[in-house]
Amino acid sequence: MKIIVRAKNLKLNKTLSVFIQEKLGSLEKFTSILGREGGLFVDIEKETKHHRKGPYFKAKVQLRFPSKILEAEASREDLRSSILEVKDELQREIKRMKNKILQSRKMVDKNTFKA
């Protein structure tokens, strides 16, 4: 899976890039379950340059499949925790999508054997 990272109002260093690749790269096993290859687009940003309190780090991830786009977004005080929150949310969406696909396949299988 190809992961494209874009940073705004902060510098993307090697350790942060490795952290993103490691954490969000684990989503590849879930996309392989679906039998689809997707591209992962990650936007990380520091929302303001002068605030010192509050959730001012934002992470937004888009997982693009040929037929569908899954999105997740989180704002936290720490950039790494916002990335982890986005990963968890995207993982839940992938599982939900997988369940829908499996349910539709079961319905098709039931209807074909009734005749």
Q: What is the CATH number of the domain that holds 10?
A: 3.30.160.100
Q: Which residue has the higher pLDDT, 73 or 51?
A: 73
Say what the pLDDT of residue 6 is: 94
CA–CA gap between residue 31 and residue 66 (Å, rounded)? 12
Which domain, by its residues, includes 110?
Answer: 2-114
Q: What is the pLDDT of residues 2-54, one digit of tens each?
A: 889 999 988 999 999 999 999 998 888 777 656 666 788 999 998 877 766 76
Helices (H), the chain: 14-25, 28-34, 79-114
Give CA 57 to chain center in angstroms.
16
Composition of the chain by helix, strand, coil, percent to 5: 50, 25, 25
- 80 is written with which tokens? 């790494």
Tally of structural domains, the chain: 1
- Residue 55's pLDDT is what? 73
Contact (CB, 8 A) for 74 and 89: yes
